[in-house]
Structures are given as C-alpha cells and as structure tokens.
Structure 1
C-alpha cells in the first residue's frame, strides 16, 4: 500500500517568496550599482565637460586679451603714424615757410633826425629815416620797396641859392613823382632792422606824405605815412598810417613803429609797447 506524502504548500510558497525577495534584492542591488556607475560616469563626464569648458573659456579669455593687446598696439602704431605724419607735414611747412617767408611780413620804422651839411647842423631841414624790420618767425625773401617821396625831390628841383628862410615854396610846382626802389634779397627773422631809405624834409613845408609799394615772395601792400611838423613844439608828428588793402582789425602801429614823442593825436589810441621799439633804429 503506497504511502502518501503531504505537501506543505505554505512552506513551498514561503520558500518561493523568500527566493523572489532575494532575487529582487539582488536585482535591485545590481540596478543600484549600475545606476551608481552610470551616475559616476555622468558626473565624470559632466566634470570633464565643465573642465573643458573652463579651459575653453580661459583660452578664449587669453585670446581676447591677446587681441585687445594687439588692438592697443595697432592703436599706438596708428597714433604714432598720425603724429609722425603731423610732424612731417609741420616740417614740410617749416621748410616751405623758411623758403617763402610764411606769415612773416615787413614792418617799417620811422624816425626824424637832424640834418647835417658840411659838418654843420641846419635846423631848417630834417632827415626822415626809415628802417624795415622782420618780426616774424621766418626770413622775408625777395623784398622790394618802392618809395614815393616828393618832399626830397623839392630839394633836387630847386637848388638853394639864397637863404632858405626866404625861399617861397609852391607845392603845385613840385608835384613831380620821385621814386626810389630798394631790393633786399633776404630780410632775416626775429627783429632784424635794416636801413633802406633816408628822405630830406624842409620843415617849412610842414606836411609830409610818404608812400611805399611793398612786394615780397608771399604778398604785397601799399603803405602811406602822413604827418606834419609843429613849429611851436619843434617836433614831427605822424598822424595817419594807411595800408591797402586794409587788413582786418587793422592797427597802424603794428605796420609802422613810431617813437612815442612822434605819435600824433589820431594815432594815440593805438599806442602800445611796439611803438617804442623804433628806438632800436640806427
């Protein structure tokens, strides 16, 4: 008679459940290890990418600094080139101005000196003395001065065979042009004075006019000087100085230096230290 074995399904199910729990734990452990490995790999990858990115940023920053430095160098070179160009232009202008005279222009100086004849002074006459001076920075080239002086010409036309005091002067009789031309190849710069004309003046005429036609390499103008002799004060006075064409903000005493004691009333409003510099005249 066969014996029957009783199966304890409860035990079997418990065993199976335990196995499944173990298998599940193993699976979870494997998955967790895998996840950790993947997370570590991702972290390492992210760290690597971040490091690469940081290196790239550093390299880019270094490149930007290098480019900025190069740009600064280029700017410096450009500025040096601009400054050098300006210096070259200025030097070329200086050379040109030194050749042509630049803005320099002739200035005249007038003085009234005693008239001496045969070692004797004759107070019936006077010498009107003219210098030309260059106060500019550059030499004045090819200067030509044409002087119109009919006062001196009177003495040439009318020889004095009698006492001057009894001489009767008819101004219309002596209205004949008298020119003297002076040419100066180079008038040096910086207050160089040069005598170019002496006119004789008979005080009895009282009024005088001198006209100068002035030409040089860079420009030209006409200069008129008018004045009179005051018998009571025994002095000459320059009353009017005209320049044609007339400059803007024209100051007559910047074109003609006159000793202060010879400045007439109409010109006194223009008086400045320049007027006293005509004392440098020889």
Structure 2
C-alpha cells in the first residue's frame, strides 16, 4: 500500500497574530521542507495544534499543503478526535480531500485500556481506505499501543506504521521481536533518532526538521548509511535543540525556533500563549547557540 521511509516533519500550523490561518506562511514552509529533501509532510499533527482548529480550518490547511507540495511528496494528516464516530467520519472526509495517509491519535477524551485502544484503531482502519500511522505517545496521552496491542491490529491491512514516542528506545527492538517487519517504525522523538535508526527505525517524524530541514535530512541519511562518527558529530550539535521537541510546550518552542532561524510567524492559538521571560530566553539561547555552531560546521554530503 505504501513504503513510507525517511524524514516526515510534523509541520507547525502558521497563524496570524489574530489566530487565523496564515496560508502563505504555511505554503512557504512546506516548500522549504520539500526543497531540503524531506520524504513526506504531516500536517495537523499535535505540533500543528490539530485539536484547536475547526473542521473548515483543517480542510484549508490540507488543501493549501497539497497545493504547495504539488505531488512532490506524500501529504499525511494528523487525525485527533474524541469519539469513535467523529474519528471515523474525519478519516472519510480526509480521504475525500485526497490526503495520502493518516497519523492517528488515540481518543483525546479518555485513557482507553488495551482492548479499547485496539478497537479504536480497528474501527478507524475500517472507516476509510487510507493507510494509517499509529501515533503512540503514552507520555502525553496516557495510552500505550504496546507490541501486544499491535499484534491484535496486525490483520488490519491499512494500519501500516507506528510513530514510536514512548521515550524508551528499547521499544523499537521489542516491536521487531514481537512483530518482525509487519509495521514501518518511525522514530517520534527528535533526541532519540540516532538510537532508533540504529535499532531499525525506517523513518523519523520530526519536530525540529521544521527549523533545520537540510541538517535533519542529512542526519537521518548519515545514520542510514552507517556513517556513525559524522552522524554523532551533527547529532551532538543539534541535541540541545532537539530536547525542545520533548517538552509540553513544544509547539511554542518550535514555533519560536522557526521564527529565529527563518522568520516564520510564532503565533499560537489559545490556550497556548507565546513564550515570555526566562522561558523565552532559554529557547532563544538554545537556538542561537546551535546557529552559531552550525556556522562553523561543514555539513557532510550524504549519498
């Protein structure tokens, strides 16, 4: 059905100061990502403030992303809903819009147990023909799609990939031991990408790729090519910034980082607020330190 591999940035949704969608900034950002070598684009992830957007705004984000991509890479959409009926309906609507896959959250309204979690994804898989990447982030959502749950989902052919974001890199190996190559495993934590690829992850759903697409694509490719020393040098340079991807305020952190690096708007939608004070200074200092180091760093040419 698909062969998703490589770097798939979870794209921030650019907003105007009044909270409206900034279509031009979104399209410019997507073009920048594709021009720098990403393999796919995921709009409306958690990082894209999915749960804070209306259905019409989600459609606008998808359509404008498709226009910007022009078929150069697949466009996936995050799917984040509370009820099963709404999730299934939204999957069908996104399929009509022509997205090429879903990155599906567990229900946002309830910490489902293993049986309920399996049924959530089974029902979603039946709702449309779109390939599904399971978004497994138990730290944020309290629901863990364990290898045992994935075994229950193995006979749902449209469930094809897992964004692994437990924070425990051992889970990558546990999934391969339990399931072989049944699912395409994507690293979902920026500061575990080198470790995850070493253990067999085939892709990376990345937040900081919004900020440094060329560098992140190069890092992923170096890992894939077994160029350990070169990969580690770049990874260590970027890891303080990658840590920003794991914070509860990663939306604000990454949007501010984008603003500092290439001038993207940093506005967020409530209940989030722009960063101020010491927190803003911390993020600014972290990014400026990375910018300074990158100025003195020669990016390797990955094959």
Task: Please state which band the TM-score falls in when normalised by the shorter chain.
Answer: under 0.3
Q: Which has the higher contact order (CA 8 A, sep 6+)?
A: 2
Q: Which has the larger helix fraction?
A: 2
TM-score (norm 1): 0.24
